[in-house]
Copies of this chain bind each other. A is one copy, B any other.
Amino acid sequence: MPSSEMPDKSVRATPGRAKRTTIHEVAKDARVSKTSVSRYLGEERKLLSDDLRERIEASIKRLGFKPDRIASSMRGRRTRLIGMVVADMLNPYTVAMMHGAETACREQGYSLVVCNTDRDDELERRHLDVLRAYSVEGLIVNTQGRNVDMLQELSNEGLPMVMVDRRVSELNVDMVGLDNHHAVSLATSHLLDQGYRDILLISEPIAGISTRQERSNGFQYALQACQDAHGDIIEVALTTPDALTEALKHFMQRPGAGPKALLSANGVVTTHICHVLRRHDSISFDTLGLIGIDELDWCALLDPGISTVAQPTQHIGQAAVDQLLARLSMSTRPIQHQLFEGSLNIRGSTRAR
């Protein structure tokens, strides 16, 4: 017998979903129809007579029945899943926001499917595809903003969506984030108050990301309050570490209008700045002020403390979920952009002398 080459397809061992007690078996056990069991499970429980209710309850307990959410979402069309697409899962801001969102979801009976794009557009598309395929009931997006078409389409299909942290102007959906103008003006005026007169805003490449743009604009605006102050903005890609080093060196050497300070546009930038400073001199804020947007675990730790503007990150995540659920139950409500105010934490890094 000639053995024909043929891949063995028989292995396919454990099936994904284990066989469990079904509503049908409960119905049989309780001598009622599956409709009644379904009623018991859902919001129509009050329609049932005491008799049926008790029998069903007993059977469910005896058989250890747990309803299958997947099956129920088939006809019922409610997956109770919320999708979340984030650009950078390792960013402390993102983490705290996720945490707030997860908590809010749980409290409302939803679960969160988290997707990380690592700032990759193609990955973002793929993730959106997947989330659509799972019929998530809503989408929280922290997007790079280069897949507007796709997001637009999803939104048009009726998928509730809320942008978080960043807004995409073409996208006509709810948004939750920081009042960047206020935050940056808080930071800038503080620096000016402390006597700094030559200020450098360090941002990641703006590249159409609203948050960065707004912080940049806000900075320029806030500077105008002080005639004799000079401000500059520099965009550095953190992927090329030397860029930041060079930028800082250049800033320090350049003759300025007065005491120098850095304004870091976000937490990741702050971290990088500190690493660069540490690598060259040991960190001292006698000759160079520093304030950053985003509070980090260690800002109070690094002697003499780094001043920050803190975002209410967990609230933001929570608010995103709230918005989503609000829209879910009232799709016609007006589009809403919900901005939170940052709060200033003054520490040693901005006590000029």
Determine if A102 is an interface residue (Cβ-Cβ < 8 Å): yes
Interface residues of A in 46-103 (CB under 8 A from B): 66-71, 73-74, 76-81, 89-90, 95-96, 98-99, 102-103
- Chain B: CB-nearest residue to A43: B9
Interface pair B330/A13, CB less than 8 Å apart:
yes
Determine if A133 is an interface residue (Cβ-Cβ < 8 Å): yes
Counted per complex, copies of this chain come to 2
Interface pair B275/A77, CB less than 8 Å apart:
no
Instruction: Given A13-B331, A69-B134, decide whether A159 and B18 contact each other with a Cβ distance below 8 A.
Output: yes
A275→B111 CA distance, assembly (Å): 35
A78 to chain B: closest CB distance in Å? Answer: 4
Counting contact residues on chain A (CB < 8 A from B), the size range is 35 or more
Interface pair B89/A98, CB less than 8 Å apart:
yes
Interface pair B115/A114, CB less than 8 Å apart:
no
Determine if A11 is an interface residue (Cβ-Cβ < 8 Å): yes
- What residues of B have a CB within 8 angstroms of the CB of A332 in the complex? 13
Interface residues of A in 98-126 (CB under 8 A from B): 98-99, 102-103, 106, 111-116, 118, 123, 126
Q: Looking at the complex, which one of B116, B135, B275 makes contact with A70 (CB distance below 8 Å)?
A: B135
Q: Looking at the complex, which one of B16, B114, B126, B278 makes contact with A78 (CB distance below 8 Å)?
A: B16
Interface pair B90/A158, CB less than 8 Å apart:
no
Determine if A329 is an interface residue (Cβ-Cβ < 8 Å): yes
Interface pair A99/B103, CB less than 8 Å apart:
no
Interface pair B79/A17, CB less than 8 Å apart:
yes
A99→B95 CA distance, assembly (Å): 11
- What residues of B have a CB within 8 angstroms of the CB of A135 in the complex? 16-18, 68-70
- What residues of B have a CB within 8 angstroms of the CB of A69 in the complex? 130, 133-135
A135→B73 CA distance, assembly (Å): 13
- What residues of B have a CB within 8 angstroms of the CB of A296 in the complex? 297-298
- Stretch of A170-178, A187-195, A299-307 on the interface side: A299-307
- What residues of B have a CB within 8 angstroms of the CB of A127 in the complex? 106
A324→B118 CA distance, assembly (Å): 23
- What residues of B have a CB within 8 angstroms of the CB of A330 in the complex? 11, 13
- What residues of B have a CB within 8 angstroms of the CB of A329 in the complex? 11-14
Interface pair A134/B111, CB less than 8 Å apart:
yes
Apart from the given pairs A99-B116, A303-B303, 12 other A-B contacts in the complex at a CB distance below 8 Å: A13-B329, A13-B331, A16-B135, A66-B129, A69-B133, A89-B98, A90-B99, A106-B127, A111-B131, A282-B303, A297-B298, A298-B301
**Contacts from A to B (Cβ < 8 Å):** 11-18, 20, 66-71, 73-74, 76-81, 89-90, 95-96, 98-99, 102-103, 106, 111-116, 118, 123, 126-127, 129-135, 137, 157-160, 271, 274-275, 278, 282-283, 296-298, 300-303, 328-332
> Can you list 14 A-B pairs with a CB-CB distance of less than 8 A?
A13-B329, A16-B73, A16-B76, A20-B157, A89-B95, A90-B96, A102-B116, A106-B123, A106-B126, A111-B131, A112-B113, A278-B303, A282-B303, A298-B301
Q: Rank and list the top 7 A-B pairs by shortest CB-CB distance, nearest first.
A: A16-B78, A298-B298, A17-B135, A69-B133, A16-B137, A17-B77, A15-B77
